[in-house]
Amino acid sequence: MAAPKQNKNGQKWTEKKVIQYLSRLEKAASKPRNLFIGQQLKKLKLYRDVWSYWKRKFQNNEDITEQMELIEGMFESNLFKAALHDEIPTRIGILSLRNAHGWRNNPKEEVQDTGILLQFVPKTQEQPDKTKEEAKNRAKSA
């Protein structure tokens, strides 16, 4: 349902206000113990979807998009370091990196005895259909 005419809700997030929140989020992301954007948004009394909304609304504002990417990278780094140094369970780290930051298993590399290899694959990139590939391989080997 469309918003009523004269609705001012869309004007709630001005550039100035978003930049103020982003500065606070960047400060929080600079602390290695802060692992998730969602936690920090909650502390600021913001809802989780506001991050996606800001990305859409300010997609043409280079300053805001760069700062948002920086903040996401900082949280990603915090999460990776926490998993690497056993501050959180490795499985939780892997799951979080996959879901929140788009990390995927590298399909070209085998899983090594030393751990799982992960590779960043943008979420927009389509993954090959493994079931079709497996069926072709089985047919060739039969």
- pLDDT tens by residue, 86-139: 999 988 888 888 888 888 876 655 445 455 555 555 555 455 555 666 666 666
* Candidate from 1-15, 46-60, 96-110 with smallest mean pLDDT: 1-15
What pLDDT does residue 77 have? 93
Contact 70, 19 (CB under 8 A): no
Domain boundary among 78, 94, 110: 94
Helix, strand or coil, per DSSP, at residue 121:
coil
The answer to whether the pTM exceeds 0.75 is no
| Same-domain check for residues 90 and 107 | no
Domain tally, the chain: 2
Helix, strand or coil, per DSSP, at residue 118:
strand
Contacts 24+ apart (CB under 8 A), 68-73: 68/22, 70/26, 71/22, 71/25, 71/26, 71/29, 71/37, 72/37, 72/101
Domain of residue 136 covers 102-142
What pLDDT does residue 99 have? 84
Query: What b/e string do you get for 2-14 counting C-beta neighbours within 10 Å, with b at 16 or more?
Result: eeeeeeeeeeeee
